[in-house]
Amino acid sequence: MNLRPTPSEERWLTLSRRLRRSPRVIPFAAHSGGWRTANLPSRCTFFVLGLVAAGMIAIITGRLWPTGAVVVAGLVSLAIAEWLIVRRRHFGSGIEEAFEVAGLAMLAYECWTHVGPSESAGASLLGTALAIAGIRLLNPLFTTLAVLTFLLALKAPALIEGLLCYGVGLAALAAGAYRFRRPSHDLVLDSLVVVMPLAGYLWSASPHNLWSPADYLHAHLSVWLVPLCSVLFAAVALTTGLRRRAHAPLVAFMVCVACTAYELRKLTGLSLETRLIVWGCVLLLVSMTFERYLRAPYRGITSRPLRDDEDSARVLGIAGGAVLTPHSPPPKGAPPFEGGGGRFGGGGASGEY
Amino acid sequence: MHSLEEELRELRSAGALDEGTTARALALERRTVFSIFEELRAALYAAVALVVTGVGILVKEHLDRIGPLTLIFALALAAGACYIPAIRAHSRRSARSPGADYLLLLGALIVSADLGYAESQFHWLAENWSRHLLLLSALHAFTAYALDSQLVLSVALATFAGWFGIERGPGSITAWEFATPALGLRALLCAGVILAWRAIDQRTNAARFREVFEHFAANLAFWGVLGWCSDAHLRFIGVPALLILAAVAIRTALHSGTESFAVYGVGYTALGLSLVIAQITGLTLVGATLVLGIVLTAAAALRHLHDLLKDARP
């Protein structure tokens, strides 16, 4: 009885996904141990369906056994998750992940009601549930959320929490140099590398309110620590990403640059719209320059795609243009659109200038 | 950092991969070639989003200071400049770079903001003001076909949906807000027109934009039917319509091998049926059991479809 794929089976599953082949056909079937995975759109849908199902189980048990319903629902959800993993051989399919995390969260909640209404205890219990789910399922999302929840449970000053986040991010960045057998270990570290600097910024920036930034021209040196940490992490991530040819540190670099730009937004004294347009144009020009000069690889780094877009990436591309389409305004004095009238061709999007 | 070199070599020695594919895959695993295409694409998209948001605020805040004519002219000029790289690439018959693609998208979005602003200032179309959206949609569609751009076509279709009165935003994302029967009908009509457009595209344009049309039509139609499902008086039409749409979406998925349509077919149907059950029963013991049954059936159906589509791959 295998509780999860062996490292070798996991590697073959990853390879079949990378080569866009089915893991159920020869020669992949001979190596992947019959484990079943799902690609991103299906995995997300399965996850949502699993969460809804776990919620319904909680409602049903609540109606049948009002006392101890959460424990029963949690245990039933966990049993379903383990059955899906052990018997049906689901790995990274979404549905078993939803049942597992929902079941553990319900048990953690039940424990919390017995421990007492302490926020710190609640965060520790939730963190433990997420950590167990993350380690059991080798899931990067749950593992990262567990780290964040444990940091929340520390109840340390915001700047310390922020620095701890950066520390975890740096540790993950350093650990990324190690050659793991399991691809999922890399994914866990990648997730920490991308999320922790963002969490670090949000935590350390919160004392002086994210919405009204500090006056950096007249600020104390310690206040500069907030953007400085982001800049330092960005520099380390960029160097590491380019040296190792890894995507996660490069994404972390982009996240840190965005955080720094946001934090120092008042430094130039420009209005919001000018900053958006100017920095947008700068980003556009820099991206286009890199795209142009890296068409021919420079030390192996290229701006050309080396794999075809996945189905989900194509859908995101289509949705991207639609999401940015501006709302069109009704002219001054024009009657507003009335829902329910059913006027063909009428209505229109709203918005105001 | 893991590397799957040994598995790739094993595949090659088993004859499951040709030499070229193996060499490319090995180069990627060894990281002797490394693409930053996705990072650049994300940066380009973020840049376009920043500029468009900035232009939106500029138009809103500085109308009195700049003056409408100056603003309209300046925006038109900026939009025109954004179109130039794409037009140049097209006239040279060379492939357009992703940078030029996103610049073209930026141009189209600025044109949308500009024309919307001009209409709000000068009332050229008086009480038929919403027709400027139809004009914009036609202009973007022309650009998309002339310059072969999926991104601009998606702007054209979003603007076209706007003309039908289908508003994008948080209010329209939740089925409960979206759920007026009239809005549902408009969404379905819009999806129908887009499908008719797709049929014409298939005959005249070798179905280059088939995917864009189908994703838009599917999502609009499902949202429209969800609107009906959540209305007590229209449920009896909404539920059969939802099941028919699900069958069409799943058939499309199996026919084209595109898993997203299986996700639409199963996901939207589970959502719609659960919504109806929750509204009728108020999630009593029977209601919750029925919803659980629907969700588990949906998961099993999606798993089966996923396996079918995966097995159909080479």
Q: What is the pLDDT of residues A125-156, one digit of tens each?
A: 999 999 999 999 999 999 999 999 999 998 88
Residue A171 at interface with chain B, using a CB cutoff of 8 Å:
no
pLDDT surpassing 50 at residue A340 = no
Cross-chain Cβ contact B151/A321 below 8 Å: yes
Lowest mean pLDDT among A180-184, A297-301, B170-174, B260-264: B170-174
Sorting pLDDT into bands at 50, 70 and 90, what band is A328? Answer: low
Highest mean pLDDT among A121-125, A307-311, B309-313: A121-125
Contacts A347 to B, Cβ<8 Å: 130, 164-165, 186
A153 vs A156: CA distance, rounded Å: 8
Q: CA angle, corner A175, sides to A231 and A10, nearest 5?
A: 125
Torsion region of B175: left, alpha or beta (phi above 0 gives left; psi -120 to 50 gives alpha): alpha
Name the helix (H) or strand (E) containing A305.
none
Q: What is the pLDDT of residue A10?
A: 94
Lowest mean pLDDT among A86-90, A258-262, B16-20: B16-20
Lowest mean pLDDT among A23-27, A40-44, A275-279: A23-27
Distance (Å) of CA B190 to CA B146, B159, B245: 23, 11, 15
Which residues does A301 contact at the CB level (< 8 Å), separation at least 6? A242, A245, A294, B34, B35, B36
pLDDT surpassing 60 at residue A331 = no
Of A42, A244, A284, the CB nearest to B302: A42
pLDDT surpassing 50 at residue A274 = yes
Q: Is A302 strand, coil or helix?
A: strand
Q: Are B265 and B254 in contact (CB under 8 A)?
A: no
Name the helix (H) or strand (E) containing B109.
helix B98-122
What's phi and psi for A90, nearest 5 deg? -90, 135
Question: Across-strand partners of A302?
Answer: B35
A321 vs A316: CA distance, rounded Å: 9
Residue B63 at interface with chain A, using a CB cutoff of 8 Å:
yes
According to DSSP, residue A195 is labeled H
Q: What is the pLDDT of residue B146?
A: 93
Q: What is the pLDDT of residue A209?
A: 62
Give the pair of three-digit tokens for residue B282.
């108020």
Q: What is the pLDDT of residue A216?
A: 78
Cross-chain Cβ contact B43/A286 below 8 Å: yes
A96, amino acid identity: E
Cross-chain Cβ contact A317/B189 below 8 Å: no
Q: What is the mean pLDDT of chain A?
A: 87
What residue in A sits closest to B299 (Cα-Cα)? A46
Give the pair of three-digit tokens for residue A294.
């890296």
Give the pair of three-digit tokens for residue A201.
């910024």
Cross-chain Cβ contact A27/B11 below 8 Å: yes
Distance from chain centroid for Cα B280: 32
Contacts A60 to B, Cβ<8 Å: 285, 288-289, 292
A343 vs A347: CA distance, rounded Å: 7
| Spans of chain B, pLDDT less than 50 | 170-173, 175
Q: What is the pLDDT of residue A208?
A: 64
Give the pair of three-digit tokens for residue B71.
């603003």
Q: What is the pLDDT of residue A342?
A: 34
Tell me the torsion sign for CA atoms A21, A24, A28, A31: positive
Q: Are B162 and A323 in contact (CB under 8 A)?
A: no
B135 vs B137: CA distance, rounded Å: 5
Q: What is the pLDDT of residue B171?
A: 46
Residue A275 at interface with chain B, using a CB cutoff of 8 Å:
yes
Cross-chain Cβ contact B311/A306 below 8 Å: no
Q: What is the pLDDT of residue A346?
A: 34
pLDDT surpassing 50 at residue A32 = yes
Q: Peptide bond preceding A23: is omega within 30 degrees of 0, i.e. cis?
A: no
Cross-chain Cβ contact B99/A349 below 8 Å: no
Residue B313 at interface with chain A, using a CB cutoff of 8 Å:
yes
Contacts A244 to B, Cβ<8 Å: 1, 31
Of A56, A180, A272, the CB nearest to B2: A180
Cα Rg of chain B (Å, integer): 24
Q: What is the pLDDT of residue B179?
A: 56
Cross-chain Cβ contact A334/B169 below 8 Å: no
Q: Are A316 and A308 in contact (CB under 8 A)?
A: no
Cross-chain Cβ contact B34/A53 below 8 Å: no
Contacts A178 to B, Cβ<8 Å: 1
Q: What is the pLDDT of residue A107?
A: 96
Calculate what percentage of chain A has a pLDDT beyond 90: 61
Q: Which of B310, B11, B29 is nearest to A37 (CA)?
A: B310
Residue A156 at interface with chain B, using a CB cutoff of 8 Å:
no
According to DSSP, residue B128 is labeled G
Q: Are B206 and B252 in contact (CB under 8 A)?
A: no
Q: What is the pLDDT of residue A338?
A: 39
Q: Are A312 and B260 in contact (CB under 8 A)?
A: yes
A121 vs A53: CA distance, rounded Å: 27
Catalogue the E-assigned strands of chain B: 34-35
Q: Is B129 strand, coil or helix?
A: coil
Residue B97 at interface with chain A, using a CB cutoff of 8 Å:
yes
According to DSSP, residue B179 is labeled -
Calculate what percentage of chain A has a pLDDT beyond 70: 90
Q: What is the pLDDT of residue B166?
A: 81
Cross-chain Cβ contact B116/A326 below 8 Å: yes
Minimum distance, in Å, between the CA of residue B285 and any CA atom of chain A: 6
pTM of the model: 0.89
A227 vs A141: CA distance, rounded Å: 26
pLDDT surpassing 50 at residue A353 = no
B168, amino acid identity: R
Q: Are B185 and B142 in contact (CB under 8 A)?
A: no
Q: What is the pLDDT of residue B173?
A: 46
Name the helix (H) or strand (E) containing A5.
none
Minimum distance, in Å, between the CA of residue B261 and any CA atom of chain A: 10
Q: What is the pLDDT of residue A343?
A: 36
Distance (Å) of CA A221 to CA A157, A168, A349, B97: 18, 24, 48, 44
Burial of A224 (0-12, 13-18, 19+ CB in 10 A): middle
pLDDT surpassing 50 at residue A347 = no
Distance (Å) of CA A254 to CA A38, A63, A231, A248, B101: 28, 49, 11, 10, 21
